[in-house]
Amino acid sequence: MRVEENVPLKDLSTFKVGGAARYFCRAASFDDLKEAYRFAKSKKLKIFVLGGGSNILVSDAGFNGLVIKNEISGIKFTEKSGGLTLVEAGAGENWDALVALCVSKNLWGLENLSGIPGTVGAAPIQNIGAYGAEIKDTVKWVEVFDPKFMKRKVMTAEACRFGYRDSRFKHSPDSRYVVTRLTLTLSTSPRPNLNYTDVKEFFAGRNGTPSLHEIREAVLKIRRHKLPDYEKIGTAGSFFKNPILSQEEFNRLRAQFPDLPGRPFGSRQIKISLAHIIDKILGLKGFQKGPVAVHGRQALVLVNLGNATAKEILLLAEEIERRIKEKLGLEIEREVEIIK
């Protein structure tokens, strides 16, 4: 393992902004992680573990500590009884490449999560989700490195305490854990998940149940239509989370805004569409502030139009948050993590 100094993070983030890491290294194994944490401890450095850089905003000042790029690799398939297969993947593997591989092997369970940028390690931390599916639906267990004891630990899906774009790994003291491997349970039997509106509409009017490959291609086409190309435009995808309200809160807002969409979440809550609020209620879809804009086809997405700074992106985010607070009385949460 080699430690470098003053490494720019801009090109390691899909937002394509941000300063440098004071120290930087790549960890391709459990032993590399141990060595990296020992180095950080010797210099009393704070640590940030980087995956694909797709859900972060690096500050213009960079990160005055050690950034560890998690590059633990390897994918293993183990057939089990009952038409099930366990898929074990290293945290540094590309997420969509894993999905594509599983689809090519006719394994059901990840197809609705096609096209999500980032690495495998981020999937359980964020409980990634899209088009009616979440990673928690298939997680068997998560292997982590615990720097407190310098040991490996394995957690069941239940122990991960998954929530909406959330898990125990996002909260102290469990945020210290570094995901090293993820094991999923997938099925060889067809289990099409067509409940999400966009997916349902895509296949409307056709006869028969779509194949696994067709569902993946549909999800990729829907994403391409709605979302910017990460290779061409700086973005971190959805900047904000959809608010989850009590029935009473939802009724209050619905009385003011009758067209506000909401769907049941859990047993007694309602998840509302923040994209609808930003677009239809605030009229901010496509809104541009300097070199930063609300994406013209998906209002949850903020985009760097070329030479934006992290400060300029945050100013637009803060303006959206302020307007929502003033208009609807809601405090919204960010999905993107600010690294500083």
Q: b or e along 46-73 (b: 16 or more beta carbons within 10 Å of the residue's beta carbon)?
A: ebbbbbbbbbbbbbeebbebbbbbbbbe
CA distance 160 to 124: 8
What beta strand segments (E) does 91-216 contain?
129-130, 133-134, 139-146, 151-156, 178-187
Per-residue model confidence (pLDDT) at position 313: 99
CA distance 222 to 215: 10
The reply to whether 273 belongs to the active site is: no
Please list, in sequence order, all residues whose beta carbon lies within 8 angstroms of the beta carbon of residue 85, skipping any fewer than 6 positions away. Answer: 77, 78, 79, 105, 107, 185, 186, 187, 188
Would you call 103 helix, strand, or coil by DSSP? helix
**Average pLDDT score over residue span 190-214:** 93
4-70 and 234-339, same CATH topology: no
Task: Choose, from 13, 54, 59, 238, the residue flagged as catalytic.
Answer: 238
pLDDT bin (cut points 50, 70, 90) of residue 305 is very high
Residue with tokens 């797709």: 54
In degrees rounded to 5, what are phi and psi of residue 201? -65, -35
Judge whether 93 and 75 are in contact, CB under 8 Å: yes
The predicted model scores a pTM of 0.94
Q: Over the stretch 129-168, which tens digit does the pLDDT of each residue have?
A: 999 999 999 999 999 999 999 999 999 999 999 999 999 9
The reply to whether 165 belongs to the active site is: yes
CATH dotted code for 4-70? 3.30.43.10
Please list, in sequence order, all residues whose beta carbon lies within 8 angstroms of the beta carbon of residue 183, skipping any fewer than 6 positions away. Answer: 86, 87, 88, 89, 139, 140, 141, 142, 143
Top CATH class, 234-339: alpha beta
Q: Over the stretch 43-74, which tens digit does the pLDDT of each residue have?
A: 999 999 999 999 999 999 999 999 999 999 99
Return the domain boundaries, the chain. Answer: 4-70, 75-226, 234-339
CA distances from 188 to 87, 106, 138, 182, 196 (A): 12, 6, 13, 19, 22
Would you call 23 helix, strand, or coil by DSSP? strand
The reply to whether 238 belongs to the active site is: yes
Task: Choose, from 93, 143, 312, 335, the residue flagged as catalytic.
Answer: 335
Per-residue model confidence (pLDDT) at position 151: 97
The share of the chain scoring above pLDDT 70, in percent, equals 100
Q: Is the pLDDT of residue 303 over 90?
A: yes
Q: Over the stretch 4-38, which tens digit does the pLDDT of each residue have?
A: 999 999 999 999 999 999 999 999 999 999 999 99
CA distance 260 to 60: 36
| Token reading at 204 | 């409307």
Task: Choose, from 165, 168, 181, 223, the residue flagged as catalytic.
Answer: 165
Judge whether 128 and 157 are in contact, CB under 8 Å: no
In degrees rounded to 5, what are phi and psi of residue 75? -135, 135
Q: Over the stretch 307-321, which tens digit does the pLDDT of each residue have?
A: 999 999 999 999 999
Q: Which fold has domain 75-226?
A: 3.30.465
**Which runs of consecutive H residues, i.e. helices, occur in 157-283?**
197-202, 212-226, 247-256, 274-276
Residue with tokens 């997405």: 301
Counting beta carbons within 10 angstroms of the beta carbon of residue 192, is it exposed (0 to 12), middle (13 to 18) or buried (19 or more)? middle
